Amino acid sequence: MSAPATDRLPAPVLRLLAGTSARVVVHDLYDDVGAEVYAAIVRADHVEVREVLRAVARTTGPVLELAAGEGRLTLPLLALGRSVTAVDLSAAMLARLEKRLDDAPRSFRDRLRMVRADMSEIALDELFGAVVLGTTSVTLLDPAARRRLYDRIRQHLAPGGQVVVSVAEDTGEDAPEEAADPVWTEEGRGFLLTEHRPRGAGYRDVAVLPLPLEAGEDGVVDVCTSRVRLLTRSELLEETTQAGFELVDVEPVATSGTRFGTVLVTLR
């Protein structure tokens, strides 16, 4: 294992790599290599989809999906028969979503509007019966940007509309700091998805390693990493209450393996 490549890796990942003699190359989870890995994992990950659909089905009217990515939630939302506006900052992710429409029913394309924008700065000409922000993507924003986001959501929410947000569950002092789960993609590729939440640090380190843990044809083990802000349910509820929202429901999200808990928060 090459030392210069691993200076950005959290301790749990270093332990996993200790037995390999291959050269380790570290990528950001959102660079060219990381984005491909991330997209493959997302396509295989159905966590929270059922819960989001159930929450949205209790609303009426068009749906605004923020941080839509390549459509992990977008396509199931379209399958409900609703019109969906999918917002993402990444042109590459929206292009992937566009490509996925090729294999979807023709009506999906007719009911989908894609918008490249910062979700905390959106200004659309429509009101929505449901606003969805999944995959704990609210943590991509710092506190100031989240305040702007809440204001933008309020301005785009139709009367009687609801907001559906996934966020990390509150954890106690005795909660584990590490989790690791295998993920197998539709193409048969294997990855180990790891999370490390140092107690009191306010962030979580995510890393993705190949399975089996061995070098590819180029003699390299690619490890993709990202450091994400940690926002808990209690913190989200405090922020959204201050922004004028009212709690409707909190539903645990069914997960597999050792993943940290996630909840789906519905607001109005």
Per-residue pLDDT at 202? 84
Residue 89 belongs to domain with CATH number: 3.40.50.150
Identify the bridge partners of residue 191 per DSSP, sorted by sequence position.
Answer: 183, 210
- The reply to whether 82 and 211 lie within a common domain is no
- The reply to whether 12 and 97 lie within a common domain is no
Q: Residue 186: what residue type?
A: E
| Tokens describing residue 147 | 């305040």
Per-residue pLDDT at 46? 82
Does the residue 62 lie in any domain? yes
Whether the upstream peptide bond of residue 159 has omega within 30° of 0, thus cis, is no
Spatial CB neighbours of 197, under 8 Å, sequence gap ≥ 6 = 171, 177, 178, 203, 204, 205, 230, 260
Strand order in the sheet with 84-88: 112-116, 84-88, 63-66, 128-133, 157-168, 262-267, 247-252
**Among candidate residues 60, 16, 33, 54, the one with its CA nearest the CA of residue 252:** 54
| Domain ranges, residue 55 | 44-170+232-267
- The reply to whether 162 and 53 lie within a common domain is yes
- The reply to whether 98 and 209 lie within a common domain is no
Spatial CB neighbours of 106, under 8 Å, sequence gap ≥ 6 = none
Q: Residue 114: what residue type?
A: M
| Tokens describing residue 180 | 């690791």
Does the residue 250 lie in any domain? yes
Does the residue 9 lie in any domain? yes
- The reply to whether 66 and 14 lie within a common domain is no
Does the residue 35 lie in any domain? no
Q: Are 185 and 169 in contact (CB under 8 A)?
A: no
Alpha helices (H) in the chain, listed in sequence order: 11-17, 32-44, 49-57, 74-79, 91-100, 106-110, 143-156, 233-242
| Beta pairing class for 203-211 and 220-229 | antiparallel
Q: What are the φ/ψ torsions at residue 156 (nearest 5 degrees)?
A: -110, 5
How many Å separate Cα 104 from the centre of its chain? 22
- The reply to whether 126 and 247 lie within a common domain is yes
Angle at 55 between CA 80 and CA 111, to 5 degrees: 30
- The reply to whether 244 and 143 lie within a common domain is yes
Q: Residue 123: what residue type?
A: A
**Among candidate residues 204, 68, 66, 71, the one with its CA nearest the CA of residue 145:** 66
- The reply to whether 216 and 151 lie within a common domain is no
- The reply to whether 247 and 142 lie within a common domain is yes
Residue with tokens 């059922």: 50
- The structural domain count of the chain equals 2
Does the residue 36 lie in any domain? no
pLDDT per residue, tens digit, the chain (268 aa), is: 444 456 678 888 888 898 888 889 999 987 888 888 888 887 777 889 999 999 999 999 999 999 999 999 999 999 999 999 999 998 888 998 999 999 999 999 999 999 999 999 999 999 999 999 998 999 999 999 999 999 999 999 999 999 999 998 866 566 678 888 898 888 888 999 998 888 878 888 999 999 988 877 788 999 999 888 889 899 999 999 999 999 999 999 977 554 567 899 999 9
